Structure 1
Amino acid sequence: MNNKTIKQKKTGLVYIVPTPIGNLSDITHRALSILNEVDLIAAENIIHTSQLLKHFNIKKYLTSLNQHNELKKTIYLINKIETGKNIALVSNAGTPIINDPGFNLIKACQNKHIRIIPLPGACSIITALIGSGLPANKFCYEGFLPTKKNDRCNLLKLIKKEHRTIIFFETSHRIILSIKDIINELGSDRNIVITRELTKYWESIYRTNASNMLQLLQSNPDYCKGEMIILIEGYKEVLLETIQKKHINTFLLLNQTLSLKQSTILTSKIHGIKKKIIYQYAINQLKYDKKNK
């Protein structure tokens, strides 16, 4: 019996290529190299991407992949890839897939074991987060706030006690309505940040509490223009109990001979007060003592 060597058909690759969110200088050398080398570019908007390619003198065939044709176009692109064509997926700005078309294509590629190569690059929500001054070690991204008031308020109620920094996209014509709902559902003192037109000439970052933010936006209509991102500070639990002098005296007495942890636990048991109340006092006192040495 003769052995026959079966040559497996080589499939193409899919590159996920971030593009600038405003400033064209933010595109990476690798992104330009890939856009130059692929056989086909799948773009959210052909006209928009054509302008980008023209700026960098890149001449490639473009095909549209948007929310209206994504399912049908995915089949077309998979067929191209299976014949050995390399594809680049781009959105209008920033990193594809995040709130942009392309998920169905990537999922289909995974199911068919087609290699997917994601490139790092511009991403508006990460750019907004690192410039916000809010905690960036833990955060959640929720896409666009719902357009209808009831849906928007219901979502805000659900995230009211979310401890992580919360990130939303919002449109300029709805920003004031959304800030009013944030005040009603999350409180007027909740710290928020609004970024506007990131990396562009009119780039702005506003940081204040929700009440002041509303006044700021209402006082100057120009502050409501452009592409906007809302970042909301995570929920901070309000401690209803307060430390009293007798608690402090007990803690200080115990802490003369016991460790901070032991003193905290015993003071908590003696007075029936939460350990974190005592512990927070101790930490703050240590910081004060250190500062005034």
Structure 2
Amino acid sequence: MKKYTLLIVLGIAYTSSVYAQKPDKVLARVRYTYTNVLDTMNTGKTRRENMLLFLGKNTSLYTSYDKLNHEIQSDMRFRASIANKVGNGRPQAIVMDTKSSEWMTTSSNLYFINEDKFFVKEVIALQSYLYEENTPKIAWKIMKDTLTFSGLACKKATAMYDGKNWTAWFATEIPFQSGPWKLIGLPGLVVEAYDENKQIHFQFAGLENAKDGEHQRIDDVTKWPTAKPGDYNPIDQLVGRDVGPAYFEGIIQLPPNAVKTDKKNFDKLKAAFKKDPKGFVKSMYNH
């Protein structure tokens, strides 16, 4: 048991760098369909997931749209179930299905353009961990080819990155230097991207401007008369306290509850959890 405690302490104690990136207002949201024929999740079926990119003037946040929608719908069903049980006057245990969402991406990428900072947030046993990575420096070669995606005029760019030859189509009329996953650094939004064999493919699925108050939590506990500083909504814990504020409040920020670590220590924690999930969780809350 001690080895798990040591790993967790390592993850929590790594605070040699202070993350001071300022929150940014969400201006637009881009949806992508992510397809990976090499990742079958042991089902024999191609992995396909709907993803979401929040865009700010100086920031972007890339996460799973499927995960976000799943948790929102689960929260609604959970509240309806509680109301039903209370109405019947018969207290009963409420069992939530978590198996259906196990395949969904729980990580997110946060890119701060002006500061040239790139962060990854990952989750183990409902605890968020945040570590900084070197900002992807992709040597894009812009071509003369053009193509239109859903009315967006795009230019073609190619590059070798992460061991693969990528093709990206970007729209200069949308002046954001971001894109899906880590495909960033072009003079315009990356609308579509794929590797040379299209084994990994990010397909454009829609773009919309963000509007204040567009999405509301069912019950915002931070607005209760009894609310205290530091209170947060359960739905934000489920979707991530980076994704929740981006979706409901239109603010891109680093998750305030995340344990700050580095990639090496996070990988150790992840390996320990995979080896003994129950022992890891017990140590995490009892160390």
TM-score normalised by structure 2 residue count: 0.21
Q: Which structure has the bigger radius of gyration?
A: 1
Output the TM-score relative to the length of structure 1: 0.20
Q: Which structure has greater helix proportion?
A: 1
Higher relative contact order structure (alpha carbons within 8 Å, sequence separation ≥ 6): 2
Q: Which has the higher strand share?
A: 2
